[in-house]
Structure 1
Amino acid sequence: MTALTTPRSSIPAVPALLLSVLSVQGGAAIAKGIFPLVGAVGTTGMRIGISALILLLVFRPALRHFTRAQWQAVLPYGLVLGAMNLLFYLALARIPLGLAVTLEFVGPLLLAVSGSRRALDVVWVVLAGVGVAMITPWTGGGTDSLGMLLALLAGACWAAYVVLGRRVSQVLSSGAGVAAGMVIATLTVAPFVLLSGDLGHVTPTLLAAGTALAVLSSAVPFTLELVALRTLPSRTFSVLLSLEPAVAALCGVIFLQEVLSLSGWMAVVLVMLASGGAALTAHKPSPATHQSAEGHRT
């Protein structure tokens, strides 16, 4: 049995989370390269479907023996996983990777400070708002408005994923929870994939690329994050996760030749500062499994 197949992985939490961030953004770069061939919806279907198969084979969750409480936790988790991935890929087809991830980050950031009455938390929200405003196409040109909206909706799903993923991590092992959730996510996006007809263009080469995408973007990071959610302090988890927009922007530059404007880079930095600041100044820090400023995957 490998380290990832045990409920308590031997992989330290911090390296697990950093590997998760790098894996996801590398996978996103691969995904965007596949879009011209099978579309964003088809790519979503390949990624989630292959991920589900891999995770089922690796972890072999006893789905028939899940309790009512476990299904009540994993069903909404899987639905949100499917919606989050589909919305994010639809956004990614329209806007650069770095900006898509930056906008998506607004969801968990707002969740992290929700209910707070501290003035400092308002500062973080305003800072993120300024960042979003800097990349909003107020004049009707520049960044695609629909792409931005889709990224923000994906961020709302991400916020829900944080809450639901925490619940799943409390009732199931990391492997079983992710595998079962990915099966539900596959069923969630299947109608959209079938209606799109995109998978009719799949070739063996594309299938291999889809497998690499599934491993990098879903199978590995979802598992690593649930591992980290069990033990990592909330502040550390959230601060490390706030690096993700910058990692995404750099991957966009290196792999996709997506050069952001100065205002785009400033937006990335502002949202990162807001997210990291909210984590560092969070009131009464506790283990990540009991906070709402952690968790992600698209």
Structure 2
Amino acid sequence: MPAETAAAPALPPRVLQQAADWLMRLHEDGSVAQRARWQRWHDADPDHARAWQRAEHLLALSGQVPPPLAHSALQRAASPGRRALLRSVAALLVAPLGGWLAWRLYDEAAWNASVRTAVGERLRHVLDDGSVLQLDTNTAVDIAFDGQQRLLRLRHGQVQVATSPDPQQPTRPFRVATPQGILQALGTRFSVRLFAEDALLVVQEGAVRIDTGTRHRRVDAGMQLRWNRQSLPQPQPANPGADAWTHGMLVADALPLQQLVQELGRYHRHWLRVDPAIAALPVSGAYPLDDLDRSLSMLAATYAVQAQRGLWIQLRPADTRG
């Protein structure tokens, strides 16, 4: 397994400011003479090239303006929308990439489609390139395909992606944006789920590269990785049945009852509670996500628990008195 890439030395603030200035200059004046001056600045110092690479990366994340920045897209007549985007990127250049700043940049991008599911709903959606999305309960995904990349943004929930070869030439990378970083598919099938403070990637086929803006890591088939903005640990073997939700099942292997009920609750609008006395009870089995009554009956038939119904459904220890 590849080791985590060491972070490069921090760029001097003055260099980042110069790159931001050049970004706006090229937008306002894309003449041959101006591009030549930019090229001289770019080639004069390795730090200049690194700063420009960061700018290109930020623009790629925006889904609006393709790199390289000297592309003819920046040489068209200025528009308020494009100027606002470039101003946002210029501001981000002088701050660390990632976290809420990058997420704000995604919010300003022109996403051209959105697919979503309600609580208890799952959806199969075929993208323009033939790739297939499986959306889990209460999930929203934005789509921004252009001539440079195939980009999705996972707003909330969980999605499985099965990528197809890009019909366009040259081929475009397939990326998924999350608040914790960018995922780039390497010919693959994978799922990603957002939690309150972190995200979980599970790779079923191929490999996925996670890029947080300062660090990156490759995750191969059969592995999973839960990470956040501060921590990008080593991948671990994927949990058995991690993608069973795509078939309407929840697979548990010694899962605490409290956690299993929380997972079932994501697919229903009932208020589910667990008696603290049995919250840590390890539970195994396969439970249907769409049939809560059946799942509760299976639990009651296998374990010493019972479901008490009222304003909410509470799992409590079974009454075993004769």
TM-score normalised by structure 2 residue count: 0.21
TM-score normalised by structure 1 residue count: 0.22
Q: Which has the higher contact order (CA 8 A, sep 6+)?
A: 1
Q: Tell me which protein shows more helix as a share of its residues.
A: 1
Question: Which of the pair has more CA radius of gyration?
Answer: 2
